[in-house]
Amino acid sequence: MKPTLALIATGGTIAGLAEDSAAPANYTAGVVDAGALVAAVPPLRELANLRVEQLCNVDSSDLTPAHWLALARRVQALTTDPAIAGIVVTHGTDTLEETAAFLALCHRGDTPVVLTGAMRPANALSADGPANLHDACRVALAEDSRGRGVMVVFAGEILPALPLSKARLGLQPYVAGAGGALGMAAGRPRFFHPHQPSPAVLDAAACPALPEVAILYVAAGTPPQALRDALRHGARGAVLALPGSGTVPRAWEETIAEACSAGIRIVRGSRLASSFVPSRRQDLELGTWAAGALAPAQARVALIVAIAAGLEQLPAALAAQAR
């Protein structure tokens, strides 16, 4: 008997259509529905019985934290169904790293959750979506995937949900943290290391809404007024994309310390494409948290979850990375 696989579609380039298949740069994301995505990959029907649903069908740049909550709640509900062997989420690449981070911090149980997408629209010559979707489904169904939580499958690689960032526009746009890829997805999925369970931090079903958190890019001479403005407009926290390995300009220190004293959560991150921001004595002095291996986009997700869950630090597994 074939296993049952749940597929949740959210749109993105994998569901996009180009005006000219030979010029795929000009396309509209979120056009093809979930059923058509599956129909374009006939071998999927040989792998599993598919339960296909459409959460939304948009460009991922239009997704919001409200979409994360809706998706996490749906995933959580599916993981309680013993008939579901795995869950695949199709997603636009621009913000996939953020959704993956949120799901990873909410995921409970052993059911694998795999996100994938495409860099070329569905009707492009040599579209990459069908192969990525097939690989993602194989990984979600693999016995060795159980207990590994949330993963990303792209261009034949199995990548961690955290830390992860979109770093380029090639067919493999994602860069994992120092640990690199978890395994290979092409053919029979193979993992390089035993899994390390990470407990859920936030119960999405019990969370009515998520707090506003800003990301502020700090360049040479950027005034701290940017932080005061974000807080005045309702932000309950902020991630600072700072120079180097999270260096705080002296002109920002007083404003940051005042904000932290008032209960605002501030995370020191780095604006570098690849960096690590360790905890420093300055964090104790100012009241800030260090982003560790997380790029600003994922650090923002982690901070949103920490505030929503009432944590006194970034989620434990991430806080350990920052030391």
What are the residue numbers of the active site?
Answer: 13
Residue 6 exposure: Cα atoms within 13 Å on the Cβ side? 23
Beta bridge partners of residue 49, listed in sequence order: 4
CA distance 243 to 40: 45
**Pairing outcome for strands 157-160 and 150-154:** antiparallel
Phi, psi of 88 (to 5 degrees): -120, 135
Sort residue 11 into left (φ over 0), alpha (ψ -120 to 50) or beta: left
CA distance 130 to 167: 22
Q: How big is the chain by its Cα radius of gyration, in Å?
A: 20
CA distance 188 to 200: 28
> Count of residues for the chain?
323
**Pairing outcome for strands 237-242 and 265-270:** parallel
DSSP for 25-45 reads TSEESS-S-HHHHHHT-TTHH
